[in-house]
């Protein structure tokens, strides 16, 4: 799948969160754990997902447009999110 982002938004994201949106190109979208972002009406379906990039868990907000994932925000996941992700993706023996 193709990944895109707005460069101006990426610059702002890097200032705010210390992560360029371009690193989302390394995401394996088939392994993203996500849910709809329904905190408010964005006029489009947005999702909040968690993805591992270089052995680190990231929180990514995105929308899917046809065959393209448009990245809106990306940051390192916090400890609470890491715990939730680990519990949700744990495989029971």
pLDDT digits (tens, 9 = 90+) for 10-52: 999 999 999 999 999 999 999 999 999 999 999 999 999 999 9
Residue 1 pLDDT: 78
Count of structural domains, the chain: 1
Q: Which two tokens stand for residue 61?
A: 């907000």
CA gap 87, 72 in Å, rounded: 26
Domain that holds residue 80: 2-89
CATH of residue 56: 3.10.450.530
* pTM recorded for the entire structure: 0.90
Instruction: Please state, as a whole number, how many other Cβ atoms lie within 10 Å of the Cβ of residue 63.
Output: 15
Q: Which two tokens stand for residue 22?
A: 């371009």
Q: How many residues does the chain have?
A: 93
């Amino acid at each position: 799948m193709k990944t895109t982002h707005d460069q101006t938004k990426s610059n702002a994201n890097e200032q705010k969160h210390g992560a360029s949106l371009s690193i989302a190109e390394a995401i394996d979208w088939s392994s993203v754990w996500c849910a709809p972002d329904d905190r408010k009406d964005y006029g489009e379906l947005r999702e909040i997902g968690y993805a591992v990039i270089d052995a680190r868990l990231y929180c990514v907000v995105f929308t899917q447009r046809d065959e393209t994932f448009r990245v809106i925000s990306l940051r390192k996941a916090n400890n609470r999110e890491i715990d939730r992700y680990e519990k949700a993706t744990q495989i029971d023996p």
